[in-house]
């Protein structure tokens, strides 16, 4: 067997269930690797190796028990390590959301997604780095330091699920959970050369997710390939009465078609996503990937999503508006540290003024302004109307095509500090990912090549509501006939060879 941290999630599950490796050995292998690489990457905010190993030992006991008694009913992920973005509640493990204001907050409960994965037998390795409250595209807004891109340590891993993406790319975990409010699963997946699924809004419970933009927030999965991502998706999707926006559509179990062709699959290519500002190498890699889909039998259609250009201003009104309301609860009284003042007002001001980061404060102010009396119709109300136009763009497109293929981001991973002091230029980086969130539709990002600096390039497929199965099948067909998703960062080779 190859080195344990070389295994895909699917292979790890098999190795555990066949008794080729114990959960303790596998977990320890990841913890050793994390210990060695983490100083370079800073992919995690919280690691509790002893807690992880205790879960592994418990899994090993159950594995033995299952192998003796009823092997057919073994828990699907028994003994498999996983990392969780630090905006999701894991009982007993600190959840900071990348913020100082939650530095000492330990949730007394599990998020629904975490609960479902625990029921499936996972071992939680730790909590991954994120931009503060998931507000960002680079992890540079984390109060716990930037995460470095495993392909080039001077560059960002993307964000806000940058810790999860970097950890998967550097094989510090077989798979990780992330969240996507405006691209935070897909863009870091693309920057780090891994596969990332953004689910349909409402398909996966948000209970236990520290809310950012409640009408946009979705939980997603980052892994080495579509098969691994589907394995996790199958366990976490489905209704949850603790999340009022959770869809009543029954839980679905996706089976990926092995060598399916793409006959009768209509792929739309939106002209608006191939305009100036798109790095030439990104464009050519994405166009080549579209040709691969065509060679597998897909029909390619040019389509239009005419309101794409409004996605940035619309999103950057709606998301901060919702954030300003959601973040009102962090007042120094209920969660985390309190910077006590002379009176209640001072306590609020000290705590919020000193413990929220710059970007978070900017968004609270923007959002409060957009919602304030006299301006609400002009800003928030107007943004909601344009959001409807963006949704209609997708509805119309999906009358003629089954999926949309497009770049994930205009460029490959940028240098740490490239957008420092210029939030607008950072927001513009999100142009290709925001529309799917505004429409609530699913998307999957996966690697389709490299630029001349050997940085990964990603493509996304966007589908209609609840079309995760279709999206994953197409991406799976692509991965069956290409090997970009198997490429590993140099960092990886250096360390693995030791």
Active site residues: 85, 160, 184
247, 202 Cβ separation under 8 angstroms: yes
Contacting residue, 15, 123, 134, 230, with ligand GLN by CB under 6 A = 134
Binding to ligand GLN by residue 357, rule CB under 6 A? no
Q: Which stretch binds ligand GLN (CB under 6 A): 114-122, 131-139, 339-347, 399-407?
A: 131-139
Binding to ligand GLN by residue 128, rule CB under 6 A? no
My answer on whether omega of the bond before 160 falls inside 30° of 0, hence cis, is: yes
Other Cβ atoms closer than 10 A to 304: 13
Reduced to 3 DSSP states, what percent helix, strand and coil does the chain have, rounded to the nearest 5? 45, 15, 40
Binding to ligand GLN by residue 319, rule CB under 6 A? yes
Closest among 66, 223, 222 to 159, alpha carbons compared: 222
Distance (Å, whole) CA 32 – CA 29? 5
Distance (Å, whole) CA 388 – CA 318? 12
CB of 217 to ligand GLN, least distance (A): 8
Please report how the helices 162-169 and 23-41 are oriented relative to each other, as an axis angle in degrees rounded to 10. Answer: 120
Q: Which stretch binds ligand GLN (CB under 6 A): 39-47, 129-137, 168-176, 401-409?
A: 129-137
> Is 216 or 282 the residue whose CB approaches ligand GLN more closely?
216
CB of 329 to ligand GLN, least distance (A): 18
CB of 52 to ligand GLN, least distance (A): 26
Contacting residue, 126, 136, 208, 223, with ligand GLN by CB under 6 A = 136
Q: Which stretch binds ligand GLN (CB under 6 A): 128-136, 328-336, 457-465, 477-485?
A: 128-136
> Is 16 or 444 the residue whose CB approaches ligand GLN more closely?
444
DSSP characters for 329-357?
G-SSSSSS-----SSHHHHHHHHHHHHS-
CB of 147 to ligand GLN, least distance (A): 14
CB of 323 to ligand GLN, least distance (A): 8
84, 94 Cβ separation under 8 angstroms: no
> Is 23 or 164 the residue whose CB approaches ligand GLN more closely?
164
Contacting residue, 180, 240, 402, 468, with ligand GLN by CB under 6 A = 180
DSSP characters for 418-447?
TTTT-HHHHHHTTTTTHHHHHHT--EEEEE
- x-or-dash pattern for ligand GLN, window 274-313, by CB under 6 A? ----------------------------------------
CB of 325 to ligand GLN, least distance (A): 15
In sign, the C-alpha dihedral spanning 380, 382, 383, 388 is: positive
> Is 441 or 491 the residue whose CB approaches ligand GLN more closely?
441
Q: Which helix (H) or strand (E) holds 83?
A: strand 81-85
Contacting residue, 184, 190, 464, 473, with ligand GLN by CB under 6 A = 184
**Dihedrals φ, ψ of 251, to 5°?**
-55, 140
CB of 7 to ligand GLN, least distance (A): 29
* Binding residues for ligand GLN, total number by CB under 6 A: 13
236, 114 Cβ separation under 8 angstroms: no
Q: Which stretch binds ligand GLN (CB under 6 A): 182-190, 286-294, 348-356, 389-397?
A: 182-190
Give, as ranges, the residues between 159 and 178 that touch ligand GLN (CB under 6 A): 160
> Is 267 or 371 the residue whose CB approaches ligand GLN more closely?
371
Give, as ranges, the residues between 417 and 436 that touch ligand GLN (CB under 6 A): 430
The pair of structure tokens assigned to 92 is 């007993």
Q: Which stretch binds ligand GLN (CB under 6 A): 9-17, 135-143, 331-339, 454-462?
A: 135-143
Q: What is the CA radius of gyration of the chain?
A: 21
Long-range contacts of 473-476 (CB under 8 A, 24+ apart): 473/256, 473/257, 473/260, 474/262, 474/265, 474/267, 474/293, 474/298, 474/403, 475/195, 475/226, 475/444, 475/446, 476/226, 476/227, 476/230, 476/256, 476/257, 476/260
Give, as ranges, the residues between 362 and 421 that touch ligand GLN (CB under 6 A): none
CB of 392 to ligand GLN, least distance (A): 22
CB of 218 to ligand GLN, least distance (A): 9
Burial of 205 (0-12, 13-18, 19+ CB in 10 A): buried
Binding to ligand GLN by residue 129, rule CB under 6 A? no
The pair of structure tokens assigned to 398 is 């999906």
Contacting residue, 150, 157, 183, 463, with ligand GLN by CB under 6 A = 183
Q: Quick check: helix, strand or coil at residue 118?
A: helix
Sites of contact with ligand GLN (CB under 6 A): 134-137, 160, 180-184, 212, 319, 430
């Amino acid at each position: 067997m190859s080195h344990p941290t070389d295994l895909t999630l699917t292979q790890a599950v098999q190795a555990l269930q066949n008794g080729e490796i114990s959960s303790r050995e596998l977990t320890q292998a990841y913890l050793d690797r994390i210990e060695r690489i983490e100083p370079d990457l800073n992919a995690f905010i919280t690691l509790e190796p002893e807690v992880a190993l205790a879960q592994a030992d418990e899994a090993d006991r159950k594995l033995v028990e299952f192998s003796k008694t009823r092997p057919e009913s073994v828990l699907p992920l028994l003994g498999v390590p996983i990392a969780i973005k630090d905006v999701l509640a894991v009982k007993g493990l600190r959840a900071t959301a990348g913020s100082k204001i939650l530095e000492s907050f330990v949730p007394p409960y599990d998020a629904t997604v975490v609960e479902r994965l625990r029921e499936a037998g996972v071992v939680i390795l730790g909590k991954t780095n994120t931009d503060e409250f998931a507000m960002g595209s680079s992890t540079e807004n984390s109060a716990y330091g930037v995460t470095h891109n495993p392909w080039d340590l001077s560059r960002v891993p993307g964000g806000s699920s940058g810790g999860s993406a970097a950890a998967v790319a550097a094989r510090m975990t077989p798979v990780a959970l992330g969240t996507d409010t405006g691209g935070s699963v897909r863009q870091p997946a693309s920057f780090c050369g891994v596969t990332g699924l953004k689910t349909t809004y409402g398909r996966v419970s948000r209970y236990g997710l520290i809310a950012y933009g409640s009408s946009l927030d979705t939980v997603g999965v980052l892994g080495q390939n579509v098969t691994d991502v589907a394995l996790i998706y199958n366990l976490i999707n489905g209704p949850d009465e603790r999340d009022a926006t959770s869809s009543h559509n029954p839980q679905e179990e996706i089976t990926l078609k092995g060598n399916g062709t793409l006959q009768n699959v209509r792929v739309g290519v939106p002209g608006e996503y191939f305009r100036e500002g798109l790095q030439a190498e990104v464009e050519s890699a994405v166009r080549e990937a579209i040709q691969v889909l065509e060679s597998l039998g897909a029909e390619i259609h040019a389509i239009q999503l005419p309101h794409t250009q409004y996605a940035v201003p619309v999103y950057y009104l709606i998301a901060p508006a919702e954030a300003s309301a959601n973040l009102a609860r962090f007042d120094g009284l209920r969660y985390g540290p309190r910077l006590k003042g002379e009176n209640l007002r001072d306590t609020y001001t000290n705590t919020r003024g000193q413990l929220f980061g710059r970007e978070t404060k900017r968004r609270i102010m923007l959002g409060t302004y957009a919602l304030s009396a006299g301006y609400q119709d002009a800003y928030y109300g107007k943004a909601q109307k344009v959001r409807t136009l963006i949704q209609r763009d997708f509805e119309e497109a999906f009358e003629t095509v089954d999926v949309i293929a497009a770049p994930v981001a205009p460029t490959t991973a940028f240098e740490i500090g490239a957008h420092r002091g210029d939030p607008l230029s950072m927001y513009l980086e999100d142009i290709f990912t925001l529309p799917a969130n505004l429409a609530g539709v699913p998307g999957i990002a996966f690697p389709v090549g490299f630029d001349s600096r050997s940085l990964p390039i990603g493509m996304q497929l966007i589908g209609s509501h609840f079309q995760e199965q279709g999206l994953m099948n197409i991406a799976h067909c692509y991965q069956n006939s290409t090997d970009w998703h198997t490429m590993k960062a140099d960092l990886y080779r250096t360390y693995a060879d030791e």
